[in-house]
Structure 1
C-alpha cells in the first residue's frame, strides 16, 4: 500500500448497531503522555470536545507526562481493556522509543489502534537575520561544518532525528543543542543564541507569522496550506520526509466492537471542517483512518525509522 494512498483512503465507519455489551458506562479518558499545553495536549482536547457527542459519553483528558511518553503509554497498556482508557500516541511512542529505549516496559502488541488522527511535519526556522532560503542555509553549513546550531528536545528526540536525516541528505553537519521543551529553545532563538529551530508546525508558524523567524522548509510530504510558498525538503532531496503523527490507541484486548465505536466517534470528529481547520492552524494534517489503516501506517513508519536509527547508530 503506497503511503499517499494509505493516508487518503477513507475509514470504514461501523453501522449504528453495535453488539450487546459494548456500551461504555463511564467517561472515556484520553491519556496524554506529555504536559499540558503542547501540541499533543491541544489536539487531544480538541478531539475530546468533538468525540463526546457522537460517542454519547463524556470524554476527558488526563496528562501523564514523563520519560519521552513511556510513562503514559505504559499506564494505558496496563489499563483495563474496556475502551474507557485511550492513549493519544505521538510518533515517539511506538515509532522511535522501541528502537532506542532500553528495557522499554511496553511493546507494540500491547496496543490496538483506533485511528490515525493526524500527521505533523517539522519546520526548519531561521532568524530574520539568518539564511533566506534552504539552499543558502546548506551552503553556509557546508562552508562551516558544525557551526550552525539548532534546538532539539534531546539527542534521541524525533525532531533531532529528523534534522539528522536532513543533514545526511544534504551532506552537512549542524550542531544540536538540547532543551527541555519548545519554550526554552524559542527563548534562546529570539535572543540570538540559537541559529535555527527544528520544531513542530504550531511553534514554527507562530514565529513565522510574528516575523521573528522565517520557515525555510517543511519536512513533510505536502506543502502547508496558507504557507504554500515555503518549499519541502523533499523538493530538493526527493524522498527526504520526516513527520511525526498522532494516533489513538487502546489496550490490546479491547473488544473489537468497542474499538469500532471509538473509531466512529473519532473519525466523525476528525473529518469536520472545524477540526481540520484547527489542526491546520497548528501545522498538522487531519487524517481520520480505520483501525486497519492506522496499524499499517504505524508498521511502515516503525520499520522506516528503525532502519534509519540503526544506520545512524542512534541510541537512547
Structure 2
C-alpha cells in the first residue's frame, strides 16, 4: 500500500532532514589533537606550534598537544602524519623545509605533498644572521669581510637541504661569496658554538638569533625578509642593501590527505583564530615570526607559489637530500 505524506507534514520533514545533514556535516574532535613538530624542542617551529596549540585548545574543546618528532631533515615527523588516520586528530606543523624544499631535492621521500591536506598558513619567518664578537657587525662590512677571506668565515645551518641552508646558498650565489657552511642537528648546538666563539656566524630563525643577541655574546646583522620587523625597526634587511635578496620560510598546519572537509574547516577556523589572536601575534613577533592566516585554499595557492619560486635555484645549485 503506498504511503502518502500530507502537505502540512512536508515542512517538518524537510527541517528534520536539513538538521540531520547539518549534524552529519559538523565535526568536533573526540579526543586530544596532536600537532607533530618534525624538529627538536626550542626552535622557531616548536615555539610557533606551542603558541598555536595553546590557543586552539579552548576553541576546539579538546587539548591540543605538541609532539616533537625530529630527524632526517623533518622526514620522520612528516611521514608519521602522512600515514596517520585522516580523522582530524593528527596534524603536522610543517615548515618550508618539509613541504617546499624536501619534495624538490629529496630522493625517494616516504611522502609527497599530495599526502597532506592544507589546513591553515600559520606564519612566516625571515631568517637572521648573527655573528660572534670580532666579526664585522653590519651587512655591507660582513659581506666585504667574507669576500676578503674566501673559505675562512664559517656559518651554521640546520643541515644540508634545510631551508636555512637553502637561504644561505641563495645569499652565496647572489653575492658571490665563498662562505664555509657547517651543518648542525638543530639550532641549539650551532648557537652554543657561536657563543663559544668556535663558529663565526649562524643563519637561523628569529627565536635562536634573538637568544644569541640577548646573551651579549653575539649580534644580529640583519634579516632576510622583505621589510623590517615592526618590533625591531632598527635591524635592517639584506634587501635594503641588495634589492630582491629575500629568503623567508613558513609554518603551517596540514592534515593527512582524505581528512573530511568538515574537520578541515573546523581546524582551519581554530588555527586562523589562533594566528589572529593579538597575544599570539605579539608573542610570535617577539620571536621574529610574523603571523599569517587565511583559508585552506589560500594556503594551497601559497604552497604552489613557493615550489615555483625555489625550484629553479635548487636545480641550478644541484642540491640533493641524500
Q: Structure 2-normalised TM-score?
A: 0.89
CA deviation map 1:87-126 (0-9, x unaligned):
1111111111112221001111111100000111111112
Pick one of 235, 239, 245 that aligns with 1:240.
Answer: 245
**Is 1:292 aligned to residue 297 of structure 2?**
yes
**Is 1:257 aligned to residue 262 of structure 2?**
yes
| Aligned twin of 2:6 | none
Pick one of 62, 72, 79 that aligns with 1:57.
Answer: 62
Pick one of 280, 294, 306 that aligns with 1:301.
Answer: 306
**Is 1:231 aligned to residue 236 of structure 2?**
yes
Q: Which moved more, 1:52-61 or 1:262-271?
A: 52-61
| Aligned twin of 2:9 | none
| Aligned twin of 1:4 | none
Shift of 1:18: 6.9
| Aligned twin of 2:169 | 164
Q: Which moved more, 1:84-93 or 1:155-164?
A: 155-164
**Is 1:135 aligned to residue 140 of structure 2?**
yes
Show structure 2 runs of 5+ residues with no match: 1-21
Shift of 1:195: 1.1
State how far apart, in whole Å, the 2-side matches of 1:280 and 1:139 are.
30
State how far apart, in whole Å, the 1-side matches of 2:303 and 2:126 are.
16
Asked if the contact 2:118/2:255 (under 8 Å) is kept, the reply is yes
Shift of 1:200: 0.8
State how far apart, in whole Å, the 1-side matches of 2:98 and 2:187 are.
19
Runs (4+) off by over 3 Å: 17-21
| Aligned twin of 1:94 | 99
Secondary structure of the 1:260 match is helix
- Identify if the C-alpha distance between structure 1 residues 148 and 18 changes in structure 2 by more than 3 Å, giving closer, same or farther: farther
**Is 1:191 aligned to residue 196 of structure 2?**
yes
State how far apart, in whole Å, the 2-side matches of 1:18 and 1:268 are.
23
State how far apart, in whole Å, the 2-side matches of 1:287 and 1:124 are.
23
| Aligned twin of 1:123 | 128
Shift of 1:38: 2.4
Shift of 1:272: 0.9
| Aligned twin of 2:71 | 66
Shift of 1:219: 0.6
Q: Structure 1-normalised TM-score?
A: 0.91
- Identify if the C-alpha distance between structure 1 residues 62 and 183 changes in structure 2 by more than 3 Å, giving closer, same or farther: closer
Shift of 1:173: 1.4
Shift of 1:275: 0.2
State how far apart, in whole Å, the 2-side matches of 1:152 and 1:44 are.
21
CA deviation map 1:213-265 (0-9, x unaligned):
11111011221223211211111222211111110000111111211100111
Pick one of 22, 31, 38 that aligns with 2:27.
Answer: 22
- Aligned alpha-carbon RMSD (Å): 1.5
State how far apart, in whole Å, the 2-side matches of 1:53 and 1:155 are.
39
| Aligned twin of 1:14 | none
Shift of 1:23: 2.9
Q: Which moved more, 1:144-153 or 1:178-187?
A: 178-187
Show structure 1 runs of 5+ residues with no match: 1-16
Shift of 1:274: 0.4
Aligned length: 300
State how far apart, in whole Å, the 2-side matches of 1:196 and 1:104 are.
31
State how far apart, in whole Å, the 1-side matches of 2:209 and 2:181 are.
17
Secondary structure of the 1:194 match is coil
Q: Which moved more, 1:108-117 or 1:45-54?
A: 45-54
